[in-house]
Structure 1
Amino acid sequence: MKKNLISATLPCLLLALTACDRSGEQSEKRQAVSETSSQLNVPDYWPKRQAPVNTALEARIQALMATMTTEQKVAQIIQPEIRDITVEDMRRYGFGSYLNGGGAYPNNNKHTSIDDWVLLAEQMYQASIDDSLDGSRIPTMWGTDAVHGHNNVIGATLFPHNVALGATHNPELIKRIAEITATEVAVTGIDWVFAPTVAVARDVRWGRAYESYSENPELVAHYAKAFVHGMQGQGETLFDQQHVISTLKHFIGDGGTVGGDDQGDVRVDEQQLFALHAQGYITGIEAGAQTIMASFNSWQGEKLHGHQYLLTEVLKNRLGFDGLVVGDWNGHGQIPGCSNEHCPQAFNAGVDIFMVPGDSWRALYDNTLADVKNGVISMERLDDAVSRILRVKIRAGLFDKPSPAQRALAGKKEKIGDSEHRAIARQAVRESLVLLKNRNQLLPLDPSKRFLVAGDGADNIGKQAGGWTITWQGTGNQNSDFPGATSIYQGLKNAIDKAGGQIELNVAGNFTQKPDVAIVVFGEEPYAEGNGDLDNLEYQRGNKTDLALLQKLQAQGIPVVSIFLSGRPMWINAELNASDAFVAAWLPGSEGAGIADVILRNTNGDIAFDFTGRLPFSWPATPAPATGKPETTLLAYGAGLKYGADELLSAKLPIESETASDQLPPVTLLAQSVKAPWRIDIGSPDQLITNTSNVQSAGPVSIRTIDKTLQEDARLLQFSGESIGMFALRADFPVDWRGYLDQHSALVFSVNPTKLGDKPLHLITACGEKCLASIDLHDTMQALPVDTWSQISVDLQCLREQGMNFGQTFVPFSLQTGSATVFSIADVKIEPGKAKTATIRCAE
């Protein structure tokens, strides 16, 4: 999910009658759209489906509707987030649903207990059926992003991400994974899962490519059906107390945007849209999926959240979908003429539930209620949406099941990370591994030998799990946050110790005794949507530290096995050349021992498990995406070696990139997440602690993630003024940025000041304990408009003149003040060529 938060201080807030003086224009546009839509014929390649009618169920819906007020109906279509509402808000309004976004937990505590999850579910449920304030006894439902297991919950089974599951080509495994996920979700009292993602990623530069099973729509179609059956149940198990509601997402075309741009535009024609991007919806609807999430992207320039033709004419009328359409994270606010607080266009187009995190939900409720009373939204349309919501709730048994705390699985902690569940996840890891290279049949390895395990992914469960893991972006986690999980190193160690071999872990590739084989685990840092978008698929572009590690080991005559962790195929020709064996391990999740199962022989010297994984996406021959043409495709869809097979690749692959340039690329330090190798530290200058949560305090400093343009892409900083406080991006090892100094770069960041004190506000960069530079930003910030995002840029030369050595950059950005100060920051980066136009400039 994701996110575009427009300022809540809009001048037209609550002015539903005037709608910022555009109501007449909007009404005319809606009428024109309605007339056009009614005249359009949906092409025959879209299958025509008639949803079966259950007369008893429909009669029950109508009976409920007859008792509901307009206020109660509008409350059903509002979905706020747990960080932004209270139980008393639920009691007063009776929201039809609510959610926890990625990185949102009860009590804002990522280590909150299973009992606390169930308690919040129970409290919200009881408040929703308490009719003392709103007169309604309709149960609410809780939605969550359980996209590779119940990934917001500490200790849950974490399955490989979808890209890895695509490599298994095993629909039955997908069904079993969905069943297990449903079980662990049910333990926490949650009713509704925002999965599966049935995107068909056509350009893996997209930061959500790992949420896509494959570039092949046929495989995605098989998986959609299997997942829905596993999540919701079938026959006698349909929506029993071990199954929950599924969601097909994101309708439609999210994987087909130009350039892989997240939330971008899809420019294929309608028949291609159907053939490439609709197949998971066709099979998912047939399998009984009850909800579909609208997408952030546009098709032919029109936002999907406002696309009446696709949402209503195609999805609901032609495909016969009689469940509900839920919006994505404030996605309605991206429609031209809309805001997060007011968007009848999205609702009239076919969105049945507004997903509205943040503090916009009150205004959205009031404005939507006014729209209904004033005819901007017809009562017929409102009744249609509410009937769909009630239909889903009745089918899912929410009116008939016990309350969340009384359900069969509620609070059964032993089911979270259950050994049987982990065994299936480990199987999924084994089946997802794709062997790209195995020179001289190096694999499988004899576990009785001596091994060096290197690379920063070897003993790093957060890295092997990827994004959407405990936190939204999957960052800020440590191995201790994964009780019961196994790192790749630990899985290797267990097997090698059992076989009598020797194993040494050293991230940098150093060793006390020369090993027989080095196993190097490396790859992408965790990311989620937006933050993971790339303009180029070259791995470690401009900073080839992992390649240097491989080459160092190879130069010492040590055979090298590379285990590559990534959410997508990448251009890694140089890394392939520096490896004797190369395994695409994707993002395997919590059960890292699955790698050892395949690459090591068993104690009898036999092959325990062969490689069965096959590429779900074409692998690129250049930094540009593979297109299926020989010159851009290194390995085709479906490629992958078994033991004993002939090599697929030549011994030495070309490593020169046609897209290479002497111009250094911009370096992002902080966007939705902090970029490796940096971390966020807060507190007093002499007592800093690492930021590990969305909301955290340390001494005089408090930090919270907020939305600027995308979900959680900014940080709200509050300095109490009781003592000097600091916010810092820091690393344990220095980075050499002298090249950026040579290219006239600037340190650039966005800032939104709320309250400034009277003491200096220092921007500090540091190159060691007694090596730093400081510039007072107080007057610069004072000149900026309050509660408005602005940009500040600082010529790196100014910092160099103050004593900064950019060849030893430990702290590229920090802010320090002793005043009571409140502001937000976002988009911290180094940009070449920006020095001459910087806010703060220095002499040539």
Structure 2
Amino acid sequence: MKHIIKINNFNARACLSILCLTITSLLVGCNGNKQEVDSTILHEKAAVISQQAQISLSLEIWPELDIAVKTDADIEARVRSLLATMTLEQKVAQMIQPEIRDISVEDMRKYGFGSYLNGGGAFPENNKHATPADWIKLAENFYQASIDDSLDGSKIPTMWGTDAVHGHNNVIGATLFPHNIGLGAANNPELIESIASITAREVMVTGIDWVFAPTVAVVRDDRWGRTYEGYSEDPEIVRAYAAAIVNGLQGAVDEDFLGDEQVISTVKHFIGDGGTESGDDQGNNLASEEDLFKLHAQGYVGGLTAGAQSVMASFNSWHGVKSHGNKYLMTDVLKERMGFDGFVVGDWNGHGQVKGCSNESCPQAVNAGLDIFMVPTNAWKPLYENTIAQVNKGEISLSRIDDAVSRILRVKIRAGLFSKPSPENRPLSGKTELIGASAHRTIARQAVRESLVLLKNKDNLLPLKPNKNILVAGDGADNIGKQSGGWSITWQGTGNTNTDFPGGSSIYAGIKQAVNAGGGKVQLNVAGEFKEKPDVAIVVFGEEPYAEGNGDLDNLEYQRGNKSDLALLKRLKAQGIPVVSVFISGRPMWVNAELNSSDAFIAAWLPGSEGNGVADVLFTHPNGNVNYDFVGKLSYSWPADSEQTTVNRFDEDYAPLLPYGFGLVYGADNVLTDDLSEQSSSKSKSELTEKALFNRSAKAPLHLFLSDEKGSTELTSSVLALKTIAVKTTDRNVQEDSLMVSWKNAGIGSIHLTSAFPSDLRAFNEANGVLSFDVNIKQFPSEAVVVEMSCEQECQGSVDITKVLKKHTLKEWHTINISLSCFKTSGTDMAKVFTPFKLTSAGDFSLTLGNIYIKTESQVDLTSEITCSES
């Protein structure tokens, strides 16, 4: 077997790995152990190393950390003793982390999973309004099943992990703190440590052991939907905060480390999630290794040095290699060079994105250094079985399994899980008075105050005296769900009302309290209407809640194509009413027009459940003295244009509208004028590149499905047949580059490309874009054929292409181009398209389908374009 490999300043360890891989399919491992290795695995490993060989790697870039938690000989002896008693099945079970919606207590008793989680929006018994007692009961039941050795022979306690990312945010009534972007503006590590300590206490009330926080992403492109999960665009704040949060969650190593009021922390997502190209969630980071360390690793330096016991692998790739399968980063850098001796947990089926893997099988991730598979859905069982089989076949060494399980056991022992009482009997368990406690809300209210950044204050309009007649307007004014953003009870933060936040306060509620106490008048009207002309209007508006890739944008213009909030501001200004804008957002946005129409403008970020903290700063004390001044400073640069998405501190051509560290205080000179340019330099048509949806295969993050009246089934092989529709891959130009689809005259069937996260297609629509695809019709349709593009329920547009299809010649290839405006006109919101292509029919019909793209008009031959009138 002959290989030609390009090596560019590649380190000796990597060279040795390449040599090991190229010898033979009987791999003699670099440690001298002879193992049978599947040839497919060999080729995939070689491909990963080949990709990494295109960049310069140097372990010397990474520090050898002085980690606060030192090796303990007694703990290590106990780990070895436990490990020696375990079967392979028990060991692999420790590495499997299913989700509460996908396992039963009996599953836990049978398999003895090392851990389990509740994802965002998952609750005991699927009840959003589950009480703390319900959470405790579930924790107790799973714990008791894990130590019951009657079926699996194991008494090792399990541990529950949860996304408590701005407080215990899945539990009704918990204290919700500002999201990280706001905390970054506060730049107060002591406050952050207090917030983390409170979060740990509220989590412990519900019997949960482990928190998936802090996120230490350093965000470089604000189009990313997780921008608000980062503290800053610069690692300066992130490093200090990571240490503070780890200390707050876990307790200081020399004081209360992992005691009765502490939880295991997770520094995430390793590594480079905030630096993906174009801000694409789960995308590709192309930073040099030096920048990967200097920019994206500083949170790990802070958090690991403080003693964080777990690290979560990231969805993103680094130079094309998925982090869940990157041995150099997970093992060579993190574990060996930096000295991390805790465990690495995966993210939500992230292992399934590794080249050659699926959710049900991924030896590559284990070999790369992943210790725990986060495997929601029913994929956990085949993954468990396949991993055992892969060890038995030599695809995964037993020594790697032992290393992973040793790390898990080490953390469990350090956390006292073998010696602590069961969840319902722990000191804080069931003390529901701690959930949303007044003292906790006081700290959250302080965090709100300190997170606010004053961007504009014309003629020193602020602070307001509370004896005024105040109009409060905007759809964010009395909306705790909107001000809390994503990861607030539900995953996306949607579907909530104020009643879902008992004990919390909206921004309006805080204003009302302040004005009533000061002898003024307050009127709430979302549309900005009034009976008595107010002295001033406070308008609260901004982004709707979102989480992860659902928040990805293609530029930063606020309310692009639908300027309803700007219209409200302009109307109030035209009536001679001074306007104070309170802007809710998960990132800096291009709001020049809104700034021009505001006398004062506050970046409030996502303040969480304690909206009354906003009024604390806006209003003086009734005696006229300043109550609280603004202290927040921008930890993200504010863009001067909608396309200025990667403006970051220390850039060579740094020219933001407002720089990193900007923030007015009362009495300071106003900086912004009322004549900022309102002309967006949105990408020209020539700058847009065509977007492939299907080219030989569905393009990530899209997946291909067939659906009928029973639901949807993903195409995971070359053939799939439902009652009404069938598909198989076929050859056009190259092997299996097209799809042969047939309808069976048995009811409605569809083939569609869908993603868990939406795409922002507004730029293509503005460039007169089209949905383009090739068809070769084998049999004309006997029923209507409809192409649909949809965002969510009741948010889809469709075009009937039956007549167009019948104009074409059978058994010849044709290109169909459908104007995106057709879909927009008939109901599609182009800002958030989940399903960009869906082909539906009934009756008898068959065709071959391929090359599905979104293109601009300049990229296609428009002679076959369908206009809305033709449809």
1:438-464 superposed Cα distances (whole Å, 9 cap, x missing partner): 111100001111011111110111110
Check whether the contact 2:66–2:305 (CA below 8 A) recurs between aligned residues: no
Q: Secondary structure in 2 aligned to 1:400?
A: coil
Check whether the contact 1:664–1:832 (CA below 8 A) recurs between aligned residues: no
Give the CA deviation at 1:659.
2.1
Check whether the contact 1:239–1:396 (CA below 8 A) recurs between aligned residues: yes
Question: 495, 509, 513: which is aligned to 2:528?
Answer: 509
- 1: distance between equivalents of 2:865 and 2:370? 43
1:719-798 aligned at under 5 Å gives the runs: none
Question: 326, 330, 341: which is aligned to 1:311?
Answer: 330
Alignment-mate amino acid for residue 325 of structure 1 = V
- 2: distance between equivalents of 1:319 and 1:296? 21
Q: Is 1:198 aligned to residue 221 of structure 2?
A: no
Which structure has the bigger radius of gyration? 2
1:128-163 superposed Cα distances (whole Å, 9 cap, x missing partner): 001000000000000010000001111110000000
- 2: distance between equivalents of 1:354 and 1:656? 48
Give the CA deviation at 1:611.
0.4
Give the CA deviation at 1:217.
0.8
- 2: distance between equivalents of 1:837 and 1:360? 44
1:299-354 superposed Cα distances (whole Å, 9 cap, x missing partner): 12211111111111111011110000001111111111111111111111111001
- 2: distance between equivalents of 1:176 and 1:29? 46
Check whether the contact 2:41–2:364 (CA below 8 A) recurs between aligned residues: no
**Equivalence for 1:610:** 629
Q: Is 1:635 aligned to residue 654 of structure 2?
A: no
Give the CA deviation at 1:296.
1.0
**Equivalence for 2:496:** 477
Question: 31, 50, 72: which is aligned to 1:54?
Answer: 72
Check whether the contact 1:42–1:314 (CA below 8 A) recurs between aligned residues: yes
**Equivalence for 1:718:** none
Structure 1 residues 773, 370: closer, same or farther in 2, change over 3 A? Answer: closer
**Equivalence for 1:330:** 349
Structure 1 residues 566, 269: closer, same or farther in 2, change over 3 A? Answer: same
Structure 1 residues 65, 777: closer, same or farther in 2, change over 3 A? Answer: farther
Structure 1 residues 743, 55: closer, same or farther in 2, change over 3 A? Answer: closer
1:93-147 superposed Cα distances (whole Å, 9 cap, x missing partner): 0000011111111111111111111111011101100100000000000001000
Check whether the contact 1:664–1:740 (CA below 8 A) recurs between aligned residues: no
Check whether the contact 1:621–1:631 (CA below 8 A) recurs between aligned residues: no
- 2: distance between equivalents of 1:172 and 1:773? 51
Give the CA deviation at 1:43.
1.1
Question: 443, 463, 475: which is aligned to 2:482?
Answer: 463
Structure 1 residues 797, 522: closer, same or farther in 2, change over 3 A? Answer: closer
Question: 65, 69, 77: which is aligned to 2:87?
Answer: 69
**Equivalence for 1:367:** 386
**Equivalence for 1:543:** 562
Q: Secondary structure in 2 aligned to 1:635?
A: coil
Question: 68, 83, 90: which is aligned to 2:108?
Answer: 90
Check whether the contact 2:179–2:607 (CA below 8 A) recurs between aligned residues: yes
Q: Secondary structure in 2 aligned to 1:512?
A: coil
Structure 1 residues 702, 191: closer, same or farther in 2, change over 3 A? Answer: farther
Check whether the contact 2:51–2:321 (CA below 8 A) recurs between aligned residues: no
Alignment-mate amino acid for residue 76 of structure 1 = Q
Q: Is 1:659 aligned to residue 686 of structure 2?
A: no
Q: Secondary structure in 2 aligned to 1:503?
A: strand
TM-score, normalised relative to structure 2: 0.77
**Equivalence for 2:151:** 133
Q: How many residues were matched structurally?
A: 733
Structure 1 residues 762, 241: closer, same or farther in 2, change over 3 A? Answer: farther
- 2: distance between equivalents of 1:149 and 1:315? 28
Q: Is 1:647 aligned to residue 670 of structure 2?
A: yes
Give the CA deviation at 1:373.
1.1
- 1: distance between equivalents of 2:176 and 2:612? 13
Check whether the contact 2:472–2:539 (CA below 8 A) recurs between aligned residues: yes
**Equivalence for 1:574:** 593
Give the CA deviation at 1:413.
1.5
- 2: distance between equivalents of 1:708 and 1:160? 41
Check whether the contact 1:765–1:804 (CA below 8 A) recurs between aligned residues: no
Alignment-mate amino acid for residue 97 of structure 1 = S
Higher relative contact order (CA 8 A, sep 6+): 1
- 2: distance between equivalents of 1:207 and 1:233? 31
Give the CA deviation at 1:799.
9.0
Give the CA deviation at 1:588.
0.2
1:608-638 superposed Cα distances (whole Å, 9 cap, x missing partner): 1000111111111111122446773111111
Structure 1 residues 702, 225: closer, same or farther in 2, change over 3 A? Answer: farther
Check whether the contact 1:464–1:589 (CA below 8 A) recurs between aligned residues: yes
1:733-758 superposed Cα distances (whole Å, 9 cap, x missing partner): xxxx9999998778999xxxxxxxx9
Alignment-mate amino acid for residue 843 of structure 1 = E
Question: 395, 400, 418: which is aligned to 1:376?
Answer: 395
Structure 1 residues 407, 450: closer, same or farther in 2, change over 3 A? Answer: same
Q: Is 1:843 aligned to residue 860 of structure 2?
A: no
**Equivalence for 2:318:** 299
- 2: distance between equivalents of 1:523 and 1:31? 45
Check whether the contact 2:44–2:355 (CA below 8 A) recurs between aligned residues: no
Give the CA deviation at 1:22.
2.0
Q: Is 1:346 aligned to residue 373 of structure 2?
A: no
Give the CA deviation at 1:263.
1.2
Percent identity (aligned): 60
The unaligned stretches of length 5 or more in structure 2 are 1-34, 690-708, 717-760, 774-781, 791-795, 805-815, 843-852
Alignment-mate amino acid for residue 634 of structure 1 = L
Check whether the contact 1:27–1:376 (CA below 8 A) recurs between aligned residues: no
- 2: distance between equivalents of 1:18 and 1:838? 55
Q: Is 1:43 aligned to residue 43 of structure 2?
A: no
Structure 1 residues 94, 451: closer, same or farther in 2, change over 3 A? Answer: same
Alignment-mate amino acid for residue 652 of structure 1 = D
Alignment-mate amino acid for residue 451 of structure 1 = I
Alignment-mate amino acid for residue 132 of structure 1 = S
**Equivalence for 1:789:** none
Give the CA deviation at 1:657.
2.0
Give the CA deviation at 1:651.
3.9
Check whether the contact 1:46–1:274 (CA below 8 A) recurs between aligned residues: no
Q: Secondary structure in 2 aligned to 1:531?
A: helix
Structure 1 residues 777, 218: closer, same or farther in 2, change over 3 A? Answer: same
Structure 1 residues 534, 243: closer, same or farther in 2, change over 3 A? Answer: same
1:41-69 superposed Cα distances (whole Å, 9 cap, x missing partner): 61155235577321100111111111100
Structure 1 residues 707, 587: closer, same or farther in 2, change over 3 A? Answer: farther
Q: Is 1:231 aligned to residue 258 of structure 2?
A: no
Alignment-mate amino acid for residue 225 of structure 1 = A
**Equivalence for 1:419:** 438
Q: Secondary structure in 2 aligned to 1:619?
A: coil
**Equivalence for 1:186:** 204
Alignment-mate amino acid for residue 255 of structure 1 = G
Alignment-mate amino acid for residue 678 of structure 2 = I
Question: 414, 417, 437: which is aligned to 1:398?
Answer: 417
Alignment-mate amino acid for residue 643 of structure 1 = Y
- 2: distance between equivalents of 1:119 and 1:703? 33
**Equivalence for 1:165:** 183
Give the CA deviation at 1:282.
1.0
Structure 1 residues 26, 564: closer, same or farther in 2, change over 3 A? Answer: closer
Check whether the contact 1:49–1:318 (CA below 8 A) recurs between aligned residues: no
1:116-127 aligned at under 5 Å gives the runs: 116-127=134-145
**Equivalence for 1:449:** 468
The root-mean-square deviation of aligned C-alpha atoms, in Å, is 4.2
Check whether the contact 1:455–1:509 (CA below 8 A) recurs between aligned residues: yes
Give the CA deviation at 1:79.
0.6
- 2: distance between equivalents of 1:120 and 1:390? 22
**Equivalence for 1:260:** 279
- 1: distance between equivalents of 2:490 and 2:715? 18
Q: Secondary structure in 2 aligned to 1:292?
A: strand
Q: Secondary structure in 2 aligned to 1:427?
A: helix
The unaligned stretches of length 5 or more in structure 1 are 1-16, 667-700, 710-736, 750-757, 767-771, 781-791, 820-828
Check whether the contact 1:439–1:580 (CA below 8 A) recurs between aligned residues: yes
Q: Secondary structure in 2 aligned to 1:659?
A: coil
- 2: distance between equivalents of 1:515 and 1:748? 53
Q: Secondary structure in 2 aligned to 1:550?
A: helix
